[in-house]
Amino acid sequence: MARSLRVDGGRPEVRVKVIDADVHPAPRSFAELRERVPEPWRSRNWPDQVFDAVETPTYVAPGKAQRRDAYPPGGGPPCSDPLFAEQQLFRDAGVDYAILLPLTVRPVPNPEHEAAVCAATNSWLADTWLSAYNHHDRYRGALRVCSGDPGLAVKEIERWAGHPHFVEIMLVAYTRAPFGQPHYHPILAAAVKHELPIVVHVNRAAGMGLLTPVGFASYFIEHHSLYSLLYATHLTSLIFEGAFEKFPTLKVVFAEGGFSWIVPLLWRLDNLWAEARSETPLVKRRPSEYVHDHVRFTSQPIEEPTDASRLSHVLEWADASHLLMFSTDYPHWDFDDPMRVARQLPAEMRERILRDNALALYGLPTTRRDHGSA
């Protein structure tokens, strides 16, 4: 193997080239999750779609959001069969480490209920993808917590504190208030206490979770087009509420929301801060400086201008060398292949985006064991 570095107790090590910051494992069946839901919720009658990772109660993406070739030959939803996932993710796509973000907790109005499904999800991920399926040690996970009840969220964080494979805390982007507001500060404090980044990711639900700033859109294509609006609002809130001053070691990852929109947004934020900062005296630095020190973005879906040279400029202006982490969004329909994305990236920032930024954020090793699978 060209990438083998050394032999350690018979196990060759290979240098890590690609870290995938956004992969979505699914349970093989509802039962896998349901049996882990704490009482009294397990015995109650509640709709399957709450933790349905496949069917969606609302806007339907092409192919129900799945890559058509990602359904395991033996059955079950995409990314539910560990061997088939290893084939597609590790061998076909060349990913070395993957960060797993389960989409098994759709937001529900009752936060106690949502917190129970989060607890089940975390138990399930710990029992399967982070242990039984993780013999190769190439998976890390995001811990699901319910942002609607920060007390329950903190309890769940404390329950898993010190687990070697949960490397971040996941919040769903659909909320009733932006993430900088004091309501969320107990969650931010717990994240900082345990040195875990917060990752914000979409996980569609019905109802208010599909709001735009001017009511509700009609089509999936509108909703998907406007993902970045959610992230822009949370980012602006975190900055101007002073979250990065109150929590100087806080790290936030915005996953699957795009990133080129930060260029015009940060121009605007920096200018407005210069002119109108008397309103927010806690905010000591230019907004773009907080982003540089505290915020990261995942790459999928990589922006694809008609003229590819434009992407290089935007990557430079968006400070992608520091801010961007590669992701595939496996097993979803709009999957990005690492080799194809690598060709689109300027050479001088390729390794940082494909590997180094995630390696630094999650404290991953620079090598991994070689199982003959790379």
Q: Shortest CA distance to 180 belongs to which of 225, 141, 231?
A: 231
- Measured from the CB atom, the residue of 25 and 178 that comes closer to its own copies is 178
Binding mask of the shown chain, residues 93 to 132, with x at each position contacting its own copies by CB under 8 A: ----------------------------------------
* Among positions 185, 220, 245, 342, the unique one binding its own copies when judged by CB under 8 A: 220
Stretch that binds its own copies, among 11-19, 41-49, 89-97, 305-313 (CB under 8 A): 305-313
What is the number of other CB atoms lying within 10 angstroms of the CB of residue 91? 12
Q: Enter the tokens of residue 29.
A: 């069946």
Site for its own copies in 38-77 (CB under 8 A): 61-62
* Among positions 38, 207, 305, 363, the unique one binding its own copies when judged by CB under 8 A: 305
Binding mask of the shown chain, residues 228 to 247, with x at each position contacting its own copies by CB under 8 A: xxx-xxx-xx--xx------
- Measured from the CB atom, the residue of 193 and 277 that comes closer to its own copies is 277
Stretch that binds its own copies, among 36-44, 48-56, 253-261, 354-362 (CB under 8 A): 253-261
Length of the chain: 374
Dihedral of the alpha carbons of 146, 147, 148, 150, in degrees to the nearest 10: 90
Stretch that binds its own copies, among 68-76, 132-140, 264-272, 340-348 (CB under 8 A): 264-272
Q: How far apart (Å, rounded) are the C-alpha atoms in residues 291 and 293?
A: 6
CB of 44 to its own copies, least distance (A): 28
Listed in sequence order, the residues at least 6 apart from 342 whose beta carbon sits closer than 8 Å to its beta carbon are: 350, 354
Q: How far apart (Å, rounded) are the C-alpha atoms in residues 164 and 113?
A: 27
* Residue 212 and residue 201 in contact, taking contact as beta carbons nearer than 8 Å: no
What is the number of other CB atoms lying within 10 angstroms of the CB of residue 16? 22
* Among positions 11, 91, 304, 343, the unique one binding its own copies when judged by CB under 8 A: 304
* Among positions 55, 267, 339, 373, the unique one binding its own copies when judged by CB under 8 A: 267
Classify each residue of 44-61 as buried b or exposed e, where b means 16 or more C-beta atoms within 10 Å of its C-beta. Answer: eebeebbbbbbebeebeb
- Measured from the CB atom, the residue of 17 and 183 that comes closer to its own copies is 183
* Among positions 154, 177, 192, 342, the unique one binding its own copies when judged by CB under 8 A: 177
* Among positions 2, 219, 248, 348, the unique one binding its own copies when judged by CB under 8 A: 219
Backbone dihedral angles phi then psi of residue 98, each to the nearest 5 degrees: -130, 135
Q: Where are the alpha helices (DSSP H) in the chain?
A: 30-34, 82-85, 111-127, 150-160, 185-193, 220-225, 227-240, 243-246, 262-276, 287-294, 309-317, 320-323, 338-344, 347-351, 357-362
Taking CB under 8 A as the rule, does residue 281 contact its own copies? Answer: no
- Measured from the CB atom, the residue of 286 and 369 that comes closer to its own copies is 286
* Among positions 6, 10, 73, 306, the unique one binding its own copies when judged by CB under 8 A: 306
Residue type, 325: M
User: Looking at residue 66, what DSSP letter applies?
Assistant: B
Taking CB under 8 A as the rule, does residue 206 contact its own copies? Answer: no
Stretch that binds its own copies, among 20-28, 117-125, 309-317, 344-352 (CB under 8 A): 309-317
User: Looking at residue 76, what DSSP letter applies?
Assistant: S
Taking CB under 8 A as the rule, does residue 254 contact its own copies? Answer: no
Site of interaction with its own copies (CB under 8 A):
61-62, 173-178, 180-181, 211-222, 224-226, 228-230, 232-234, 236-237, 240-241, 258, 260-261, 263-265, 267-273, 275-280, 301, 303-306, 310, 313-314, 317, 334
